[in-house]
Amino acid sequence: MFKQFGIGAPSEFFTQPPSVGVSIARSGQLDELVALEQLGSRRSFARDAEIYAEGDRADCWFKIVSGTVRICKLMADGRRHIAEFFHAGDCFGLDGEGERTFAAEAVGDVIVMRFNRAATERLIDERPVLARCMCNMMLRNLAHAQTRLLLLGRMTAPERVASFLLELAERRDVRRVLEVPMSRNDIADYLGLTIETVCRVLSAMKRDGTIAIPNPHRIEICDRDALEATVEM
């Protein structure tokens, strides 16, 4: 089982039941977790350090203890694209068994658990219930990618920025004060915009009272309805 797997998991693999029904492994889960902890080794990375590079052998995966990670790719002419951000509790790096197709980098200082792929596979063979977790994880990844496809394909700059803020709020489960660990450049490359456009849109939102920006890495949502109205799918 589990020879190759998804790009990453925007959710709490092994520590929390999947959001949608199914009631997985209520009993076994903790045991698995303990087993996993012993398989993993703690690593830390400084800001902008490369956790793995495009082209590396994909022989391990990671779970974030603290910090934020970006999954990204540099095009030949220097254009950069960020496929995903992962936060504390998320898993990432479960990509195909061959080479990495994206790089993973630390957005700020990051601490992760590193898991050997082969060892994990053995564990999963013993406890097939874990396979179900993996599938759920990949499903969520896929659903999220689909949402982003719509965003990048059909949304205007203000809609993208509004979506981004609401997504941040939802992931961190806060209603008002957002911590924004990534730079404006990261946000731009995530939303398919330029840094200037991101700034301008944020400034416009600040001007009309939708948000407040006490400092660049902290944004407060003052008028959530306005944000939601901006997205309006």
Partner DNA sequence: CGCCAGTTTGACCAAGATCAACGCAAGTGG
Partner DNA sequence: CCACTTGCGTTGATCTTGGTCAAACTGGCG
| Least Å from the CB of residue 5 to its own copies | 6
- Residues 28-87 touching its own copies, rule: CB under 8 A, are 73, 75-77, 79-81, 83
Distance of alpha carbon 103 from alpha carbon 85, whole angstroms: 12
Residues 6+ apart with CB under 8 A from 67: 45, 88, 106, 107, 108, 109, 110, 111, 112, 181
Residues 6+ apart with CB under 8 A from 118: 59
3-state SS track over 172-191:
HCCCCEEECCCCHHHHHHHH
- 32 contacts 151 by C-beta, under 8 angstroms: no
Residue of 4, 15, 16, 66 that binds its own copies (CB under 8 A) = 4
Residue of 56, 87, 101, 157 that binds its own copies (CB under 8 A) = 101
Annotate each residue in 189-228 with x if it binds DNA (CB under 7 A) or - if it does not, as one string.
---xxxxxxxxx-xx---------x-xxx-----------
Tokens 């492994």 sit at which residue?
25
Of residues 127 and 200, the one with the C-beta less far from DNA: 200
Distance of alpha carbon 145 from alpha carbon 141, whole angstroms: 6
Binding site for DNA (CB under 7 A): 156-158, 183-185, 192-200, 202-203, 213, 215-217
Binding site for its own copies (CB under 8 A): 1-7, 20-22, 73, 75-77, 79-81, 83, 95-98, 101-102, 128, 131-132, 134-136, 138-139, 141-143, 145-146, 148-150, 152-154, 189, 191-192, 232-233
